[in-house]
A and B are shown apart, each in its own frame.
Chain A
Amino acid sequence: MDEVVGPPVLELDGVSCRVPGRDLFAGAELSLGAGESVAVTGASGSGKSTLLMCVLGMAEPAAGTVRVAGADLYGMPERRRVRHRRDHVGMVFQFGELLPELTPVENVALAGLLGGQGRADAYGEAKSLLDELGVPTGSSPATDTLSGGERQRTAVARALINKPSLLLADEPTGSLDQEHRDSVAELLFSLPRSRDCALLLVTHDPAVARRADRQVAIAEGTLLPVAASKDRA
């Protein structure tokens, strides 16, 4: 569809998905390279989450192929797909989905430990990421004492700890006020270049979407490109 900035990290080739009552995407094509960001917009219920699940390897498309980091996601056995996801994909959820009992460092390190990192590496990387993203870690605050923005930054750090080549974000600013929304959005859209990964971000907020390198919209079940307009303000 568009010019790829770096080597392709995500490629959708003729992808169609079927959900109860309707067909989605109608053979969608999308290519996303390292260092590039794409925002997916659309009305509620348009299929944005289905697209993310398809890319995550959790909803097999009715037709077409989904390639992540060069591998056909649905052409591999389930166990390998899970490992491939672990090695190449990170995700930021709308509500953070952090464990409130753990400290931010522990929340981030947990993903690293589960991803196979050693203890020292996981905790060191977690602290470093949180420091870099401006989340307080000094006195080991409990996660549920953080502000909404800090919680989302922690979720971003967690998504980054396994050094993904593809970063997915599902309405990451949906639950934040404007100030926090802007800071989290700025952080997210800076990551493709600073971390050499691709970012696929789902949002219904045009202001956030405009920050992406490219925008696509889901309308009437079809994935359509939106006129390029990048607003990093």
Chain B
Amino acid sequence: MKGLLQHLLRIGVTSARRGEAGRIRFWSLALATALLGLAATGLVLAQASFDGRVERSAERSPRLVAAHPGEKAGALVKWSIASHEGMPYDITHVEPLDEELAPPPGLPRWPEPGEAFVSPALLEAAGRDGVGREYGYFAGVIGDEGLESPSEYFVYARPSTQMLDRSEMMKISGFGEPGTAGIAGEHAHFFGSGEFYSVYAGLFVLPAVVLLVVAARTGAVSRDRRTALLTALGAGAVARCCFTVGEAAVPVLIGVGVSALAASPVLMGDFALPGVSSTVSAVDARESLSLLVLVHVVLLLGTVVAVVLLQPKARAARSTRPTTVRARRRTWPLWVFLPALLFTARIADLAPPELTVPLYAAGCLVTLAALPAIVGMAVGALGPLLARIGRRLGNPGLLVSGRRMAAGPRAVTRLIAALVIAIALAVQAQVWAGAMTEAGQAAKDSRDRVGTSVLRIQPYASKERLRAFEEALPSGVHALAAAVSAKDGARVAVAGRCPALREVGLSCGTREAPASRVSADRRLREAFGYSGKLAVTAERGGLGRLPEESGNLRSLLVVGTDGAQLSMTEVSRIAHRELDMAATVQQVNNYGSVGRLDIAVDWLRLMSLLGVGVIALAAGTGALAEFLRFGRDLAPVTVLSAGQGVFRAAAVWSLLLPAVLASFAGVLVSWWLSASVRSVAETDPWSMAPTTVGALVCSGGLAVWGMVTAVREAERWRPSGA
């Protein structure tokens, strides 16, 4: 028995290279395994990164004395937020009370008064003269152990003695709050692990699984026949299994090897991911080395098991003779598809908020997994009609295609599954990216209109500091204090010296100067005038003349003469030196969300590019293998009848028609599925036109590829048997 099984294994290995469509299956199986391995590696690394981020965030998280009353206060902290090029980041302002207390993780020492430690990524992005001077003097960079990731923007700053305001700071006993998410840091500004895994699963893992299924079933007809032959010869399930394992073993091993090799650079050093501002920490990657090894072992075994399970049961194929593949008509996809389609589109109304994203992802997966089978059923039902028409018209291509479509809807399903999923991925990515871009577009538009010609500064400090700040501003830069009425957002009180008021079109000396939103200064409109009319009250004198009742809605605006662009770094430096130790200087209407959305969109584009690329491979493999068989089957007729035109017709009916149907179905279903996203951010239906056209072009490409493959295979065919 052992000898037999070894023999079957060897036969399997040999036939993997020599069978019909053997090389296509061999290499597509290797590729699918490699991509699945990379997808799994990505998951492990993502988890390691999230874990590492959480761990380091907790380790640097201050232990608030308020939360640990028994502990002695050793330092004071305060947080503020800033942004660079739309990317938000946190600044932790520290003031040691006990010089013996260990500094925050990643710092070699406590900063001196007026000094700042900056993360390497922020230093590289903003420059030493920029961020280094913004918070005082540049003291050094924060070490990796004090950062959530190598790409994090982060600053530790110690207020100058002059600006130190202990009353606004919190007492801490040290750093390290295990088991809690840190208060500040990268994790607070970016998407979380749930969102990441949902997108990753949909855009990368799913396509890799589809490719594996397509690869495993490539050349299915002749291989199913061989399985039937083995069964007829008395092979049991174990023997057939050995044969299948033998067939899959080498390509799967190659795939695992490629995946392991491709994953190795992340273990050597920090790895910057292309297209997204993110770096995988080598430390995190090494931490997960044993898990990565385990994943590849599981990948090896799991892929082989999956390939075995994807083979038909012995009873499905009764004959070794070349026959029509008469698959049982399956109706379950219909019963799964419709409820999933309806449920997923209305997920936001039906599911609890915390489960919306995972349930939406699951709903999309189920719907899209069933859709190819639905299109396959439709095409299978169309087959007899096409055959009848073909027979009536005497069109050989239509006749043959119709009969084959009716006989083997599963082949059609395999063929278009990849295309449907590619379209779905493209539509989802487009809708989400569109929604996210739309959400940040207003802020971007505002930024584009006024740039840094007006900056908003907080807090509104004491009169002395306001005066010092105003006096420290260079010539040509004017400061205004502004307060939005708490009762009526359209009423704004502006205070400032006459040159500043005149700069924004307000007359100096008028007690109250109502102005329409249109007539107000462009910079004021951007700062306050989003809707309705803006009633601006001008108060001449100085920044400290704002009425008290305005309370915490007060802020400062800085404008340049004649709309000149200002240096944020310089204004920020002056604000930190003269106004407040934790002053924030931002472009108006840029609340730090634009960069965050841009990052998400970048991730989405990277993932969808990967996903659609993998799926295109799957679609191509399916088309290639299917038409290899078609070319081989028709060759005996075409070789004698000079009828190569039949391949053109067959490519149109067997490939182009299902692919076009799948394209429209894919776009429509995906559009329907994205209803909950579109309910939040309106998306123009015409934005689907490029995806639809792209899918149709791909369909045409598939048909041409299939036709060329079939013609070549037919030309290569030679009668044998004598």
A residues near B (Cβ < 8 Å) are 48-49, 52-53, 56, 58-59, 82-83, 85-86, 89-91, 93-95, 97, 99-102, 106, 110-111, 113-115, 118-120, 122-123, 142, 144, 158-159, 162, 170-171, 174, 202, 204
Is B640 in contact with A85, judged by CB distance below 8 angstroms? Answer: yes
CB neighbours (8 Å) of B395 from chain A are 113
- The verdict on A110 contacting B719 (CB below 8 Å), with A118-B394, A119-B394, A144-B321 known, is no
Q: 7 A-B pairs, CB-CB below 8 angstroms?
A: A49-B721, A49-B722, A82-B642, A86-B642, A91-B640, A119-B393, A144-B324
Pick the most buried of B393, B396, B721: most chain A CB atoms within 10 A of its CB: B721
Q: Which residues of chain A are near B396, meaning CB under 8 Å?
A: 110, 113-114
CA distance A191 to B403 in the complex (A): 31
Interface centre among B323, B393, B408, B637 (most CB of A within 10 A): B637
B638 lies within 8 A of chain A by Cβ: yes
Contacts A59-B718, A174-B721 known; 11 new A-B pairs at CB < 8 A: A49-B718, A52-B722, A56-B640, A86-B643, A93-B636, A95-B322, A106-B403, A115-B642, A122-B394, A170-B721, A202-B722
Q: Beyond A86-B642, A101-B406, A114-B646, is A49–B720 a contact (Cβ under 8 Å)?
A: yes
Q: Which residues of A contact B719 (CB under 8 A)?
A: 49, 52-53, 56, 91, 93-94, 170
Tell me, rounded to whole Å, the shortest Cβ–Cβ distance linking A185 to chain B.
Answer: 16
Q: Are B636 and A110 in contact (CB under 8 A)?
A: no
A100 to chain B, nearest CB (A): 4
B216: interface (CB < 8 Å) = no
Contacting pair A99 B641 (CB below 8 A): no
Q: A130 to chain B: closest CB distance in Å?
A: 15
Interface residues of B in 670-722 (CB under 8 A from A): 718-722
B599 contacts partner chain A, Cβ-Cβ < 8 Å? no
A-side contacts of B323, CB under 8 Å: 100, 144
Given contacts A101-B403, A144-B324, contact A58 B721 (CB under 8 A): no
* Contact status A106-B391, CB under 8 Å: yes
Q: Are A86 and B722 closer than 8 Å at their CB atoms? A: no
Question: Is A93's CB under 8 angstroms from B721's CB?
Answer: yes
Q: With A48-B722, A171-B722 known to touch, is A99 a contact of B633 (CB < 8 Å)?
A: yes
C-alpha spacing A12/B720, complex, angstroms: 21
Known interface pairs A86-B642, A106-B399, A110-B400; A94-B324 also in contact (CB < 8 Å): no
Pick the residue among A56, A59, A170 that contacts B722 (CB under 8 A): A170
A-facing residues in B385-402 (Cβ within 8 Å): 391-396, 399-400
Q: In the complex, A98 Cα to B721 Cα: how many Å? A: 15
Q: CA separation between A90 and B391, bound complex, in Å?
A: 23
Known A-B contacts A102-B403, A114-B396; the reply to A171 vs B642 at CB < 8 A is: no
The smallest C-beta distance from B391 to any residue of chain A, in angstroms, reads 7
Task: Confirm or deny: B410 has a beta carbon within 8 angstroms of a beta carbon on chain A.
Answer: no
Chain B residues near A101 (CB-CB < 8 A): 324, 400, 403-404, 406-408
Nearest B residue to A91 via CB reads B640
On B, residues with C-beta under 8 Å from A are: 321-324, 391-396, 399-400, 403-404, 406-408, 633-634, 636-643, 645-646, 718-722
Q: Known contacts A52-B719, A94-B721, A101-B406; is A114 also within 8 Å of B400 by CB?
A: no
CA–CA, A82 and B639, complex, Å: 8
Chain A min CB distance to B349 (Å): 47
Which residues does chain A contribute within 8 Å of B394, judged by CB atoms?
A: 113, 118-120, 122-123
In the docked arrangement, what's the CA distance between A52 and B640, Å? 13
* Distance, CA A144 to CA B225, complexed state (A): 14
Of B406, B407, B642, B722, chain A has the most CB atoms within 10 Å of the CB of B722
Q: How far is the CA of A142 from the CA of B321 in the complex (A)?
A: 14
Pick the contact of B640: A86, A113, A142 (CB < 8 A). A86
B722 lies within 8 A of A162 (CB): no
User: What is the CA–CA distance of A59 and B404 in the complex, to the nearest angstrom?
Assistant: 31
A91 to B641, CA, bound (A): 11
Assess whether A158 is in contact with B637, with CB atoms less than 8 Å apart.
Answer: yes
Cα separation A91 to B406 with both chains bound (whole Å): 28
Residue of A nearest to B392 (CB): A119
What residues on A are CB-neighbors of B722 within 8 Å?
48-49, 52, 94, 170-171, 202, 204
Of B400, B408, B719, which is in contact with the most chain A CB atoms at under 10 Å from its CB? B719
Q: Shortest distance in angstroms between A105's beta carbon and chain B's nearest beta carbon?
A: 9
Decide yes or no: A111 and B640 within 8 Å by CB, A49-B722, A58-B718, A144-B321 being known contacts: yes
**Smallest distance from the beta carbon of B482 to chain A beta carbons, Å?**
78
| CA distance in complex: A162, B640 (Å) | 10
The smallest beta-carbon distance between A77 and chain B, in angstroms, is 13
Residues in A whose Cβ lies below 8 Å from that of B637:
97, 99, 110-111, 114, 158
Question: How far apart are B498's CB and chain A's nearest CB, in angstroms?
Answer: 91
Q: Which residues of B contact A174 (CB under 8 A)?
A: 721
Q: What's the least CB distance linking A175 to chain B, in Å?
A: 9
- In the bound assembly, the distance between CA atoms of A90 and B643 in angstroms comes to 14
